[in-house]
Amino acid sequence: AGVEIVVDCAEVGVTGIFEVARKIPALRRAMRRLRAEAVRRRPPLAILTDFPSFHLRLARTLHRRGVQNVYFVCPQFWAWRPWRVNLVRRRFVRGLCLFPFETDFYRRAGVAADWIGHPLVGQARATLTRNEFAARHGLDPGRPIITLLPGSRPSELAHHMPRLMESVARLGRVADRQFLLAVAPGFSRAHFQPFLPAQSPLRLIEDATYDALAAADVAIVSSGTATIETALLGTPMVVVYRVAPATAWIARRLMRAPYIAMVNLLAQKLVVPELIQEAFAPEQVTREVERLLASPQARAAMQRDLAEVSRRLGPPGAIDRAATIIAAMLRP
């Protein structure tokens, strides 16, 4: 696309409050490089995407230098630390929101916000049928398929994989089940080897996440964007997440939202099970997956709710709508 990478986001990506401490040197280097480039290039406009702990600081520097800041995607301050929305009002001229209720939240705080819909609408779709996918990967389409999405950061793998492997061992006591792990972009099989037992029934699937999800009877999904992808594909799911205990202790005191999973927040009810922190235990994962596998009615009811969630994400074309808004700001 012609983008010149100044700082690779892989250098600074991290989840958690205390976990970020290890990344502080890399974050400082990234901030210095970006500030230096802003001084050198003098851009008329900056598009900053999520990552509020970093981008709110960068936005302050850019704003002082006369740069128009656009927030794409606006952070989920409605869920935790809502008072930080005031920093967006002071440092950004426009906010672009993925969810309709976010627009109302930001506008009430005085931010010029637009709802563009979710970029994954129209993008998250399978390319193969269940039978085609099964044939390609040596699976039996007549047997249950359980797909795992453990996360897209090393810290998530460290927290999630041991519990997921124990869950697979428990669920695998029923002989006809097939287990897939969809490898996130940027990861390889080598990242998962330390967590896999010698005789693991888990098949690692690369470059086919949507097909692996669409073919599944049930998915076990790390909370985050993956839950939206799974909802758009209509696959019943169990949502899991875990961070360091100290991070969880602080997060519980800052959270303002009734749910963790975005699917439940959009539905405004508990559509998918949330197994967070201590609740993310192998016996509870097994119980929820067994319940869904045993009940076609439960899966069908969840799929109806997921279809409604998908409808609330808006029509396809979110990126085009964002580009139109931003391009108009650059015209004299």
DSSP secondary structure string, 37-93?
HHHHH--SEEEE-S-HHHHHHHHHHHHHTTPEEEESS---TTTB-GGGHHHHHHH-S
pLDDT of residue 19: 62
Taking 80 as the threshold, does the pLDDT of residue 296 lie above it? yes
Three-class DSSP category at 290: helix
Q: State the pLDDT confidence band at 15, using cuts at 50, 70 and 90.
A: low
Three-class DSSP category at 128: coil
Question: How confident is the prediction for the chain on average, in pLDDT?
Answer: 92
Q: State the pLDDT confidence band at 38, using cuts at 50, 70 and 90.
A: very high
Taking 80 as the threshold, does the pLDDT of residue 300 lie above it? yes
Taking 70 as the threshold, does the pLDDT of residue 154 lie above it? yes
Taking 70 as the threshold, does the pLDDT of residue 183 lie above it? yes
pLDDT of residue 24: 86
Taking 90 as the threshold, does the pLDDT of residue 11 lie above it? no
Taking 70 as the threshold, does the pLDDT of residue 17 lie above it? no
Three-class DSSP category at 274: strand
Average pLDDT of 236-254? 84
| Alpha carbon distances (Å) from 98 to 42, 50, 75, 113, 184 | 29, 11, 10, 11, 22
250 vs 194 pLDDT, higher one: 194
Average pLDDT of 215-231? 97
Taking 80 as the threshold, does the pLDDT of residue 250 lie above it? no
∠ at Cα 268 (117, 54), nearest 5°?
Answer: 55
pLDDT digits (tens, 9 = 90+) for 265-289: 999 999 999 999 999 999 999 999 9
Region label for 5, one of left (φ > 0), alpha (ψ between -120 and 50) or beta (otherwise): beta
Name which of 241, 238, 255, 254 is nearest 306 in CA terms.
Answer: 238
Taking 80 as the threshold, does the pLDDT of residue 10 lie above it? no
Taking 90 as the threshold, does the pLDDT of residue 200 lie above it? no
Q: State the pLDDT confidence band at 106, using cuts at 50, 70 and 90.
A: very high
Q: State the pLDDT confidence band at 182, using cuts at 50, 70 and 90.
A: very high
Distance, CA of 95 to CA of 308 (rounded, Å) = 25
Q: What is the model's pTM?
A: 0.86
pLDDT of residue 16: 61
What strands lie across the sheet with 274-276, from one edge to the other?
A: 202-206, 178-183, 145-149, 218-222, 237-241, 274-276
Tell me 179's DSSP state: E
203 touches 137 (CB < 8 A): yes
